[in-house]
Each structure stands twice: as C-alpha cells, then as structure tokens.
Amino acid sequence: MNQPFPYQVEVGNAETGVMYGEPGSDIPSVSDVVLIASGKGGVGKSMVTVNLACALKQRGKRVGVLDADLYGPSIARMLGTDNGLEYNEAGQVLPAVSHGIPSISVANILPPEAALVWKGPLVAQALVQMFREVAWPELDVLLVDLPPGTGDVQLTILEQIPVTGTVLVSTPQKLAMADAERGVALFHELDIPVFGIVENMDSYICPCCGEKQTLFPQGGVKTLAEQKHVAYLGGIPLDPAAQSNADNGTPLFETHGADNLIEAFEALADTVEKSVERERRLRLADADESTRAAHQAFWERLVD
C-alpha cells in the first residue's frame, strides 16, 4: 500500500529546495481556492474556516477544507475526522469526509501527541501533494486553513497554487491587528485579492443570560480594514458552547447554536461567495482576447 504524503511520490529535490509542480497550474476538480489566514495564532482562524465551510455547504456549494497548518493542525479534530485516511484504486489518498465536507490534514495520519519535525523543503513537498496528489471530489471552493504568519507555507502555496482570494482573521487586540496588517501587505504585494478581514471574538455571549458583552476596545479592526482598503467582514462573538462543541468535532452549524453566531457566518459565506464569483468573472474577461485588447488600448491612451 502506498504511504501517505509527503512520501507518496517524489515531486522535487528536498536537498536543494527546488519548488515542486508547475506554478499556476490548476488543481483537478477544484474550481476556486480561498485561503483563510491570520497574522497571529490563537485568533480562531480554524474555527472560522470550519464554520464558513458549513455555511457555504448550506448555500449549496461543494466545499472542501485543506489544513495547511502542518505543525499545529486543528481541522481534523474540529470536524471529527482524526481517524486515518483511505486510498482509491489508483493509490491516491482520499480526503476524510465528515458533516458532508471532505478534508485533509496531517492530523489524519499522525497521533495527536506526535510532533512534526520537518524542514522547509519537506513541508513544501507535503503541501503541494495535499493539493495535487489527493483525490479531491468536484469542489466549487477549497478553503485552506493557513498557519499564522507570513512564512514558507504561505509562500509555497502562493507560488505553486492558483489562489482566487483570501480572508484575514483577527481579534480586536492590537497585537493581533498588527500581525493582520502584515498579512494584508503580503497578499497585496503578491497581487492576491483580499476579500476582507473578519473580527473574531469581538464580543462574548454570556452562557447564563445570553447577554452580549464586549471583550476588547471596539472599532480597531474596522479601522484597519478601511486603512488598508479592504472590506470589513463583520464581527463574530465568542460563544463558550460553540467552542466546546468544536473541540468535540461538531461544527456550530450542526449544533443549532446561538442565532447571532449563525447569522455572522451566513453573512460571511454570502460575501465570500460573491467575491469568488466576481473573481471568476474577471478571469473569464481576462481570457477573452478582445477584452484584453480593449484594456491594453485603454492604458495606451491613458499613457499618451
């Protein structure tokens, strides 16, 4: 039987650090790739990823989740899939399926207590295989849960995978917002559309009375979004019950939790869906020869 990634196939030179695959080539069966990113860890990025996937699925989208946080994977536990992976007849890894959402994570093949001790080239190889050597079903959107920061994982994906756009997650804390600002700068520098910034844990829902209380100074994330000319995608309150269910492998949308939480993710899913559709229309326009010629003529007239 074939071994799980990253040992399944040889796709690059691990000693020299040569990049793997063909940059910009499409992923079979996946229409659009959306990154869920954060500058700092612990801001609830994986929780946002899982529940956004559920909200998109509820809207009729075929959605999958790829856990690119190799050193600190959370998706398998949050979806309740940390129980191994299977293979198809061609020897390809089959994504785990839970709550109707196919997903892949190194936590599916490693015991919870195991530490991943891989250097950069091996991490790059594993990442590309998780995209291209996994038998993904037909998907409208593949959500990618990135690790925090702006390091090797982010650069490998942006160099090797066609990305439609990204969503940044931050809390209202100044430290988290400072790192989120660096994340926006990274994606803008590499010409990746930023759909907006989600303000997670903007408030707290009391489990006794259901009252919504603020945790941090308000308005910081919205101001940051305005300064960076990206959309503010709303706030998501902290609900202890929802967090407890997530730890047990049950997403919020499967628990029928707090209405304001569900409404927040429904609004986020609506924005992401519209943003993906907008980028898809732009791709089609760019592929049209007459449109490209008209654009070129416009810029030539403007320069003249």
Q: What is the mean pLDDT of each run of 10 residues along the chain (304 residues)?
A: 42 36 64 93 91 94 95 90 84 91 91 76 88 93 93 89 95 90 91 94 77 79 93 88 75 70 91 94 74 68 71
What is the helix (H) or strand (E) element at residue 145, kind and residue range? strand 139-145
In the structure encoding, which two tokens stand for residue 178, read together?
Answer: 């400072």
The pLDDT value given to residue 57? 95
Domain-located, residue 23 = no
Q: Any idea what the CATH number is for the domain that residue 278 is in?
A: 3.40.50.300
Domain-located, residue 216 = yes
* Distance in angstroms (rounded) separating the CA atoms of residues 32 and 163: 7
* Distance in angstroms (rounded) separating the CA atoms of residues 246 and 34: 22
Domain-located, residue 82 = yes
Domain-located, residue 18 = no
In the structure encoding, which two tokens stand for residue 194, read together?
Answer: 């930023």
Return the CA Rg of the chain. 20
The pLDDT value given to residue 100? 92
Domain-located, residue 46 = yes
Domain-located, residue 56 = yes
The pLDDT value given to residue 9? 32
Q: Residue 214: which domain range?
A: 30-303
Domain-located, residue 137 = yes
3-state SS of 219-230?
CHHHHHHHHCCC
Quick one: DSSP state of residue 95?
P
The pLDDT value given to residue 257? 58
